Each structure stands twice: as C-alpha cells, then as structure tokens.
Amino acid sequence: MTVKKAKRNQDNFKPATITWRFYVVLGLICLVYSGLVARAAYIQVFEPELLITRGENRTIRNTLNDSHRGAIVDRNGIELAISVPVHAIFADPKIVIERNGLQMQRRWKALAQVLGKDAEKLKARIGTDPKKRFVYLARQVSPTITDFIKELKIPGISLRKESKRFYPAGEISSHLIGFTNVDDQGIEGLERLYNDQLTGTDGTKKYVKDAKGNKIEILENKDATLPQDIVLSIDQRIQALAYGELKAALKSFKASSGSVVVVDVKTGEILAMVNGPSYNPNNRKGVATHRFRNRAITDIFEPGSTMKPLTVLTALEFGTANVDTIINTSPGSMRIGGRRVSDPHNYGKLSLSEILIKSSNMGTTKLAQQVPKDFLLGKFFEMGFSEDTGTGLIGESSGMLSDRSRWSKFELATLSWGYGLAISPLQLARFYAAIGNGGIKLPLSVIKDPVFNEGERVLDRENTEAVLAMLEQVVGGKHKAQIAGYRVAGKTGTILKTAAGGGYGNEYTGIFAGVAPVSDPRLAIVVVIDEPGGDLYHGGEVAAPVFSRVMAGALQYLNIAPDEDSKISRWTKGFTNGSLIKGANDA
C-alpha cells in the first residue's frame, strides 16, 4: 500500500515538457546555423576574393625599386642633365589627428620654417579632411632638410623618395636641353622630345611577411626597366664659348635677342646651339614663358644679303652665268613693275665676286631676271627653306616661302637679295653647310653619330667651290670675320624688320653666316643679332666679330689645322722670327 502510494506521488512530480519553448530554441539554433552556412557559401561561391584580399593585405607587401631618369650628356660625356635623389614630404591626416600631431605647435612652426611655408596653412591642409590618408606638403626636398624633418618626429609626417633634375650647364644649354616638371616628366626641349627614352619603369617586388614583418616568401620580382642616356652631338666647350660671346655681344650692342648655331659640315651634327637672353633651368621662378623658346629653331626672319650667294649659284646652275660673267649694274637703280630697285652707289660693271663683295641688289636682280621663274623658286625650295631641318626638335619652324604660282617681277627681284621669305637660323646654317660640303643638303641632328644619311645633292660641286672662293673674297681686307691662320668664307646680312602694322619699321637684324677653313670646310656658323640698340647695327659690325671668335675657338677645340695655303701658314713655314710672325698676324 505504502509502496504504491509513493510511486503514484513520484509520477505526479515528473516535470512536464513545455513544447513551444523547445521549438523556439530549436528554431533559433537552426536559424543561426543556417545563416552561418549561407554566409560561408556566399563568401566561398560569390565573393571568394574578399577574405583572400583581406588576408593578403595583412601578410603580402609590394615594394618599388626606383628607376631614376636617364642622363643627357654632350659628345664628350660631359653631363648636361642628371637626376639627384631628393624626398617628398607628405602627411597622413588621419594619423596626425588621431595622435594629436596638430597640437605640437613648436614642431609645426619649425617644419613650416624649413619648408619656407606658413605653419597655419600647412595645418589647415591636413585638418580640412581627416579622412584623407595622403597629402603632399613639399616636393623635391634636399637631403639636409629631410634629415631635419626626421628629427622633428611629428606623427603622420613621412618621407617619400623621388628624384630632381639638375642641369650643370645652367643657362648655357637651357634652350636646347629644356627641363622637367615636379613629377620628373620632360616638358621643354630635349627633355620633352626624348622623354620616353629617358624615363625608365620602376621595378616591383611582391612578398609574404610574417607577424613580425620578416620576409618569408617572394611571390613576384619584376626588374626595373633602365632608362637610356642620351648622347648629344653638342660639344659643350663650343656651346659655352658661343654662349659667352653671344651674351657679351647682346650686352655690348644693347640687342634684344640673338642666336648662334654651329654645324659640322661633313656630318650635319649640331655642335652648338645657343640663344640669348637665356634662363636658369635650375631656378625658373619668375621667368617669363617666352624666355623658354629656342629662338634658333622657332624664330624666323628675312635672311637678306645672306641669300645672295644662292642667287649666284642659281645662275651658275642654270647656265646663264659662269665664273667670268660680268653684270652691268649702271646706273645703280631701275624700276620693276613700278617699284624701285637700287644700290647705294652706281657700281658699274661687276663680276660675280664683286656682286657679293659689294652686296649689289642690282647685280642679283639682273642675275635672277636671266633665270626662269620656276627654276629660281625651285632652287630656293631645294635648299629646304620650306621644311624643317630633320632634327625633330619640338617647335622647329619650317620657315615661310610661298608656293603660289604667281610672283611679280619685283617680288622675284626682292627674293634674289633675301626678302620675301623667312627662315630660321638653323635653316640658314644648313644652307651654308651645303655650300661647304660641295652641294649636299644633309639632315641636321642633335644626336651624336646619327644614322648615316648621304643627304641630297642640290648643287653642283664645281659651282659651290666657285661660290665658296667668291665668299672668301667677301671676307677680305679688314673684315671682322677673319681668323688668323684660317681662310674664311661668308656673307653678312642687315635686315630691316617688318613692322607690326605692315611694311618695314626702324629696327634691324644683323646676320653673319660662313664656313671655315675654306681649303677643307669643316664648320658652318650662323650668328643672328636681333634689334641692336646702339649706333652699330650692320651684320658686319655686330655679328661678324662673334662669328670670328666662335669659329676660331671651335677650330682649336676640334684640333683642326690651319689652311696650308693661308697667309699665316705660308709665312710661318719660312720664318721663325717672332717679329715676322707678329707682322703677319697684324696684316
């Protein structure tokens, strides 16, 4: 009885299961596991790269192997443009703000002072957007300044390696070499022309690191593409000499600008190309943009009397004249199409040499009248006065020579003495180089040892030799283009410049173009002095002396022997007495 009662009581106290709670808990568990499975499936199937990327961000690093810009050197290896290591200063605004870097007033003041900036403006650039992670504070900072900035230890302020272009030759070669911008990309001159060759590509290294930052596996290693060095045809010795003489002439004659070009007659290589006024490419602050242009290739002018040798050559080429031809220029003037052509004096009968010596407009006009119009114009085009010279230099002008079919007789007359067309100093230098090398028009180059090009024969060798002898007589007497020991051939030009409103104004351009040594021509040089401001403005007064000094120095630098049949060499062969040699030089 008692046992049965106890068992009944035990059954009455057995816990009852609450069904709905069980199913709620079970449902939540299933929901959680289902969510985890769905999330895992989503990550594995639809976005498998997400976690991989996050993991790699923690363990995989990429580093750059810097590749500096290539150098530009002259034909003898003298450096004209090089890259030097510098740093960029940048800030991580988030770190600066989180670590209270902006509160370090004295350090910010020191930073601003060494960078030459205002401290409050620097801080404002960082505080405007705390979500930014990168802000430049300064570029191309020298190592001395970067060492000082490291010592400041401002949170969030870091350094980044970069390079800065430096030009050892400064203003001497600035127009030709050009310069780069703050990102080391060429934007002027040869720096721009050969930017791709000068710029290499940075190498990269991808590796896995452990928690302590140690490299444990290199995944990828891409070598840097090395930049190329550019070797120029320029001889920096001649370049410096030409610039010094041009700068002195511009100052002496109070001229507005000028150019000098030196060309190797045999190869077409440009040995010097200078302009004035120049600028310092290492510090261009405050320099007007028009000062950057390379006037020797961009500026064009009417060449005036320096074209008269071409008119003589044209007559010789066509056969209407020979070396013994006499032209009657009396009475010293004539009218063509209602316009007057004249000489300063009535020179009477002149040989071809005398036409060039006296620079007779009447003489060249009569020579041009004897040649068919198409042949005359064709010869000017053949000389390359409507095309570039082949250098590829950015901004080079092709000149102005009209190809219209109708030319008046007066226009043809003015063309015969260098008016009615416009060319650059470099184009004029190529023409005189063609006279010097026997009638071959060569493409010009600023690169040493250019790809061989035999050029184009545009003049008969015998005719160029005859005109070269005539041009040597032009530089006779006490001409300021003469060089002791060397035979020189050349021609002056004095051009009245066109006015802005049309016609001609009151400003002049003085020119001298010539070659030397005559016995075996090696160099052609053109000197242009624009708008001399003093009483002297003729080409023989302002440009010829510059030609003489540049040519003399260049021939010595190149170790070119004097002409064997020059007056100086003949006398010094037979006499060693110092007074006799001095007398020969004075003569």
Give 31's pLDDT tier (boundaries 50, 70, 90). confident
**Which is more confidently placed, 145 or 447?**
447
35: three-class secondary structure by DSSP:
helix
**Predicted local confidence at residue 569, as pLDDT:** 34
C-alpha radius of gyration, the chain, whole number: 39
pLDDT over threshold 90, residue 367: yes
Q: Which residues, at least 6 apart from 202, have a Cβ–Cβ distance to it below 8 Å?
A: 64, 65, 66, 67, 224
In order of 295, 327, 441, 496, the CA distances from 315 in angstroms are 32, 12, 19, 26
3 versus 394: which is more confidently predicted?
A: 394
Q: Over 90: is that where the pLDDT of 571 sits?
A: no
* Best CA proximity match to 350, nearest among 366, 368, 339, 334: 366
Q: What is residue 583's predicted lDDT score, i.e. its pLDDT?
A: 31
Q: Is the pLDDT of residue 307 over 50?
A: yes
Count the Cβ atoms, other than its own, within 10 Å of residue 572.
Answer: 17
pLDDT on residue 203: 60
pLDDT at 69 over 80: yes
Q: What is the pLDDT of residue 34?
A: 83
Residue-level pLDDT at 164: 87
> Within 391-504, where are the H helices?
409-416, 425-436, 461-474
Is the pLDDT at 32 greater than 60, yes or no?
Answer: yes
* Backbone torsion region of residue 507, taken as left when φ is above 0, otherwise alpha when ψ lies between -120 and 50, otherwise beta: beta
137, two tokens: 């504070």
- Phi, psi of 186, rounded to the nearest 5 degrees: -65, 130
- 159 band by pLDDT with thresholds 50, 70 and 90: confident
217 pLDDT tier (thresholds 50, 70, 90): low
Of 189-198, 212-221, 232-241, 309-318, the range with the lowest mean pLDDT is 212-221
Helices (H) and strands (E) in the chain, counts: 23, 19
pLDDT (0 to 100) of residue 129: 66
* Phi-psi sector, 213: left (phi>0), alpha (psi -120 to 50), beta: left
**Residue 193: its pLDDT value, please?**
95
Q: Whole-angstrom Cα distance, residue 234 to residue 270?
A: 6
Query: Which range among 32-36, 125-129, 327-331, 441-445 shows the weakest confidence by mean pLDDT?
Result: 125-129
Please give the angle made by the CA atoms of 524, 573 and 266, to the nearest 5 degrees: 20
Closest alpha carbon to 525 in 260, 303, 300: 260
pLDDT at 124: 77
Q: How far apart are the first and last CA of the chain?
A: 163
Asked whether 273 and 553 are in contact (CB, 8 A), the reply is no
Omega into 331 within 30° of 0, i.e. cis?
Answer: yes
Q: How far apart are CA 355 and CA 513, in angstroms?
A: 17
The residues, any chain, with a CB within 8 Å of residue 63's CB and separated by 6 or more, are 204, 205, 207
Distance (Å) of CA 187 to CA 30, 170, 174, 270? 68, 17, 12, 22
Query: How much is the pLDDT for 23?
Result: 79
Residue 527 has pLDDT above 70, yes or no: yes
| Residue from 233, 259, 278, 305 carrying the catalytic annotation | 305
Mean local confidence (pLDDT), 144-167: 84
User: Please, what is the angle between helix 119-127 and helix 105-115, to 10°?
Assistant: 110
List, in sequence order, every residue forming a beta bridge with 64; answer none if it has no partner.
204
- Give the lowest-confidence range in 214-218, 281-285, 451-455: 214-218
Percent of the chain with pLDDT over 90: 59
Q: Picking from 103-107, 212-216, 221-225, 447-451, which range would have the lowest pLDDT averaged per residue?
A: 212-216
AA identity, residue 533: G
Angstrom distance (rounded) from CA 309 to CA 322:
14
Confidence band of 79 (pLDDT split at 50, 70, 90)? very high
- For residue 510, give every residue at least 6 positions away whose Cβ sits within 8 Å of its Cβ, in sequence order, or none: 492, 493, 494, 528, 529, 532, 537, 538, 539, 540, 541, 542, 543
Mean pLDDT, the chain, integer: 85
What is the rounded distance in angstroms from the CA atom of residue 513 to the CA atom of residue 525?
Answer: 6
Q: How confident is the model at residue 45 (pLDDT cuts 50, 70, 90)?
A: confident
Higher pLDDT, 454 or 120: 454
Average pLDDT over residues 428-439: 97
DSSP letters, 200-239, are: -B-EEEEEEE-TTS-EEEEEEEEPPBPPPPEEBS--HHHH
pLDDT of res. 260: 98
- Contact of 492 with 544, CB cutoff 8 Å: yes
| pLDDT for residue 133 is more than 50 | yes
**317 contacts: CB under 8 Å, gap ≥ 6:** 379, 459, 460, 463
Is 305 catalytic? The answer is yes
What is residue 6's predicted lDDT score, i.e. its pLDDT?
55
Task: Give the amino acid at 527.
Answer: V
At 458-501, the pLDDT tens digits run 999 999 999 999 999 999 888 999 999 999 999 999 998 887 76
Q: Report the pLDDT averaged over residues 186-214.
A: 78
58-62: long-range contacts (C-beta < 8 A, 24 or more apart)?
59/208, 59/209, 59/210, 60/206, 60/207, 60/208, 60/209, 60/219, 61/206, 61/207, 61/209, 62/204, 62/205, 62/206
Q: Collapse the DSSP code of 82 into the 3-class scheme (helix H, G, I; strand E, B; otherwise coil) and give the result.
A: strand
d(CA 374, CA 133): 70
* pLDDT value for 96: 78
Task: Tell me what pLDDT residue 492 has.
Answer: 97
Give the tokens for residue 466: 């005859």
The answer to whether residues 209 and 215 touch, using CB atoms and an 8 Å cutoff, is yes
With bands split at pLDDT 50, 70 and 90, how would you rate the model's confidence at 528? very high
Q: Prior bond to 562 cis, omega within 30?
A: no
Please provide the size of the chain in residues.
587
